[in-house]
Amino acid sequence: MSALSAARLMLARDLKLAFRKRSQLVQPLAFFAIVTTLFPLGVSPELTRLKPMAAGVVWAAALLSSLLALELLFRDDAQDGTLEQYALCGRSLTWLLAAKTAAHWLLTGLPLALMAPLAGLALGAPAAAVPGIVASVAVGTVALSLIGAIGAALTLGIRRSGALLSLLTLPLEIPVLIFGARATELAIDGTAYGAPLQLLAALAVLGLTLAPLAASAAVRINLE
């Protein structure tokens, strides 16, 4: 069995397991909705005041909810010893973790990207901005899942790792926030958002090449 087909099996397994526990999938989305609700309540209900900050709010909420979902990435597999078996099974752990991260993005990043325009519209973004918001959040969450996978792998052996995990991952995710929020902001303003979106895609590709390597190194150290 090649590394690639093992990775494909891993992706199918993770998706199947996730759909058996649907409530876990809905929680980050509900969290995203709550965080975006806090801003109109805390700032002002007027759309004229909310619209200039809509991109920042959507991205801050997306960052936080992707962080929340990270704990699900390796936790169950680490607890019941499955992760150890992956490391020992002779297939490339890097590919297996890349597949797990892909499953994680499909389960959290993609739904967030589909939900983000709703939050944007509620904060005063025009309907024409929807494709731009979906594209920027979809590409940005790829990078977030990959960086987050490193953080989750590093904190694997630590109990109650939530606060530490956010302290580790959020500074590394700041470039994603900057380019993502910029692309969303330009989309909301109705101008061309190609440049920041391409930089965002560059970050995602860089993460795709390096993050699984770092994550598998961290997992191996934590399993020793």
Partner 1 sequence: MAWTWFHKLASPPHVYRVAGRLTPWLAWPAALLIGAGLIGGLVLAPPDYQQGDGYRILYVHAPSAWMSLMVYTTMAVAAAIGLIWRMKVAHAVAASCAPIGASFTFAALVTGSLWGAPMWGTYWQWDPRLTSELILLFLYLGYMGLRSAFEEVQRADRVSAVLAIVGVVNVPIIHYSVIWWNSLHQAPSVMRLGEPTMPLPMLVPLLMMLLGFTLFFGALLLVRLRGEVLSRERAASWISAAVRP
Applying CB under 8 A, the residues found at the interface with partner 1 are 150, 154-155, 157-158, 161, 164, 167-168, 170-172, 174-175, 178-179, 182, 199, 203, 210, 214, 217-218, 221-222, 224
Residue 38 Cβ vs partner 1, minimum distance, rounded to whole Å: 22
Residue 180 Cβ vs partner 1, minimum distance, rounded to whole Å: 11
Q: Which is nearer to partner 1, 86 or 115 (CB)?
A: 86
| Cβ contacts of 13 within 8 Å, gap of 6 or more | none
How many Å separate Cα 145 from the centre of its chain? 4
How many other β-carbons are positioned within 10 Å of the β-carbon of residue 19?
10
Residue 45 Cβ vs partner 1, minimum distance, rounded to whole Å: 25
Q: Which is nearer to partner 1, 17 or 210 (CB)?
A: 210
Coil vs helix vs strand at 15: helix
Pairwise CA distance, residues 216 & 98, whole Å: 9
Residue 42 Cβ vs partner 1, minimum distance, rounded to whole Å: 21
Q: How many CA atoms lie within 13 A of 1 on its CB side?
A: 13
Q: Which is nearer to partner 1, 11 or 55 (CB)?
A: 55
